[in-house]
Amino acid sequence: MPPLSSPLFYNISPTPWGYALALMSEKGVTFLAFDENKINLETYREREAPFAKAINPDSPQADWVLALKTWMPQRQTEIKLPLDLHGTPFQASVWQALREIPYGETCSYSELSERVGKPKAMRAVASACGKNPLALLVPCHRVLGKGGQVRGFRWGLSMKKALLEEET
């Protein structure tokens, strides 16, 4: 969640994987959540970001929502949206490494640990993946366990498997 001092805007839209809640600051997309039930996302937003305002159709954030809606069904190309990520320097390094995993490719937690220069920090890397606030935009679903096992995904293993299947 971004700092409370930042004005936040939100949108809930249907996607191929249920509904998505997008939270956006004036700087960029800051949080993306998924659920099959729209009411669950509305409840989550009311609890976690009660100060967020619905996106004004004339705002830059409305353009970002349109870009997300257009991009999500295909996702083969990189989306050029401003991101407003908040995390520790280590988390930021992991999230940047995730963004460098090409569409249709995967890596293991140990490979990702190597990429961020912390070869023994597989658990910390997994934790940073789990705290990734921008599923799909920061593609943590492309990280697999040993032997290619599909492990942990904040939005459920069935969604992770579906995303991986779509990318192969």
The catalytic residues are 140
Residue 149: Cβ within 10 Å count: 9
CA distance 152 to 129: 9
- The rounded Cα 150 to chain-centroid distance in angstroms is 17
Q: Report residue 129: phi and psi, to 5°.
A: -60, -45
CA distance 118 to 133: 22
- Residue 8 exposed, middle or buried by CB count within 10 Å (0-12, 13-18, 19+): buried
Measured on CA atoms in the order 67, 70, 75, 77, is the torsion positive or negative? negative
3-state helix, strand, coil in the chain (%, to 5): 40, 15, 45
